Amino acid sequence: MKKFLSMRKMLLLGSIIAIGFCGCSKSERPSAASAPVHKHEHHPPHGGAPVELGEEEYHVEIVRDGEAGKLQAFVLDGELENFIRVATPSLEVTAQVSGRQEKLVLSPVANNATGETAGDTSLFEGTADWIKTTPVFDAVLKEITVRGRIYTNITFKFPKGSDEGGK
C-alpha cells in the first residue's frame, strides 16, 4: 500500500510539472504591437498615376502616352477597381513644365463597347507636344464632379500621383 501511495504521488508530481511546462511556453505568434503594419496600396489598372479624390472616395488615374503626346484620365472608385461615369464636359490639368505652366484640356471619350457617351463617360483625354518630352511633372486637376460631389484643385505629381505623397 505504501508503494502504491508513493507511486501515486510521483505520477501526480510528474503531471503537475508537465502542465507547468506546457502553460509557460511562449506563443510563436507576434503581438499586435510587433506585427508589421500593412500599407494600404492601390494598383492603377493602366499603370498610371493614382490621384485621390477626397478621402479615397474616388480616384482619377492619369496615364501618359509619351509617343502620342497624349494624357488620359480614367475616373475610378476608391479602390481603383471600377470605372465611374461622370457627366463632366471636360477636365483641365495645369502642369509645371520646365519652369512654365502648361494647360491641357481633356475631353470626354465615348466608347461604343461600354455604351459610354461624351456626357456619361469615365475616360477623358487630351494631347500636347510637351507630353512627348516630359515624363515627370507636378500638376493640378482644376475641378471634377463625381456623383454630385465637386472636387477642386487636386494636386499630384506625375508619375507618382497623390496616393504616394503627391497631395
Write the CATH number for 151.
2.60.40
Please indicate, yes or no, if residue 77 is contained in any of the structural domains: yes
Does the residue 163 lie in any domain? no
- Closest-CA residue to 42 (of 69, 76, 10): 76
Q: How many domains does the chain have?
A: 1
**Is residue 83 in some structural domain?**
yes
| Whether 129 contacts 71, CB under 8 Å | no
Is residue 38 in a domain? no
Cell of 125: 483625354
Q: Quote the cell numbers at residue 100.
A: 512654365
Each residue's pLDDT, cut to its tens digit, for the chain (167 residues) gives 555 445 555 555 455 555 555 554 444 444 445 545 444 566 899 999 999 999 999 999 999 999 999 999 999 999 999 999 999 999 999 999 999 999 999 999 999 988 999 999 999 999 999 999 999 999 999 999 999 999 999 999 999 998 644 33
pLDDT of the residue at 42 = 64
List, as one string, the DSSP characters of 63-130: EEETTTTEEEEEEEETTS-SB--B--S-EEEEEEETTEEEEEEEEE--BTTTTBBTTBBSEEEEE-HH
pLDDT at 11: 52
Is the residue at 106 inside a domain?
yes
Contact 161, 49 (CB under 8 A): yes
Q: Is 85 domain-assigned? A: yes
Note down the domain range covering 84. 49-158
Which three cell numbers mark 163? 496616393
Is 10 contained in some domain? Answer: no
Whole-model pTM: value is: 0.74
**Residue 140 domain-assigned (yes or no):** yes
What does the pLDDT read at residue 77?
Answer: 97
pLDDT at 73: 98
